[in-house]
Copies of this chain bind each other. A is one copy, B any other.
Amino acid sequence: MAPRPDSSGPAETTRSNLIAAGFELFGTAGYAATSTRRLAERAGTNVASIAYHFGGKAGLHAACAQAAAERIADAVGAPRDPGAIGADAAVAALEKALRGLAALLLNGEQAASMVGFLVREMNASEEIVQILFDRFVGPKHRELCALWAAATGRPAESEEVRLSVFSMIGQVLYFRLGQPVVLRGMGWDAVGPDEAGRIAEHLVAQLRASIDRSRI
């Protein structure tokens, strides 16, 4: 059934084309609304290739989830133990991470379809949540909690710190997910680099306020 588990073949382009098509179509229209024929058409190949390379539509979907998690994990960067770090340096590191996340989510059309893909399936598939969490959400969250702890002096495992990190992420994620509503509310036509930068600066200011408040 499965073709060849390893890589490096002329069929690799077909596989990556199908995954790219999966990002776009699954991410924008959803799993059920995306037909295998449109996937194949978008990928410039035949319908049977989906079953041949991925075992079926579900297999392609799972491969898309893996690939999306991989790319975002790359963009977010490997979580590293901050170790002993000064409060000011921790704040700077948090600001840098926040700016990076905002740039990743708000700029770039490709990120939009990937994020849409992940969030759309997050509430539908427990497996996707597992992949997401194990791959980068969990480790990155722990790293940010350690930074937050170093910045405020509170224990990294405390509920307060973990909630603070989640709501920091939630803010920037909302500007991606709720973008259609945000555009109307702000009177913007689109979120370009300009608007993304202003959002990022605002979120950084919020971050500073939150840290100052919980500092001990």
A177 within 8 A of B: yes
Q: Are B202 and A124 in contact, with the CB atoms below 8 A?
A: no
- Chain B: CB-nearest residue to A179: B123
Copies of this chain present: 2
Closest-CB distance, A168 to chain B (whole angstroms): 9
For window 186-216 of A, CB contacts with B under 8 Å fall at 186, 198-199, 202-203, 205-206, 208-210, 212-214
Which residues on the B side are within 8 Å of A203 (C-beta)? 167
Known contacts A186-B159, A213-B209; A177 and B33 CB within 8 A of each other: no
- Chain B: CB-nearest residue to A126: B180
A9 within 8 A of B: no
Q: How large is the interface on A (under 10, 10 to 19, 20 to 34, 35 or more residues)?
A: 35 or more
Instruction: Name the contact of A181 in the complex, choosing from B137, B167, B174, B186 (C-beta under 8 A).
Output: B137
Extra A-B contacts (17), CB below 8 Å, given A119-B177, A163-B198:
A28-B123, A28-B124, A29-B32, A33-B33, A116-B123, A120-B120, A122-B181, A133-B184, A133-B185, A167-B206, A171-B171, A173-B177, A174-B174, A205-B213, A206-B206, A209-B210, A209-B212
The 3 A-B pairs with the shortest beta carbon distances in the complex, nearest first, are A170-B174, A32-B33, A209-B213
Subset of 20 A-B contacts with CB under 8 Å: A29-B32, A29-B124, A30-B30, A31-B33, A119-B178, A120-B120, A122-B178, A122-B181, A126-B180, A133-B184, A138-B185, A163-B198, A166-B178, A167-B174, A170-B173, A170-B175, A173-B177, A206-B210, A206-B213, A210-B210
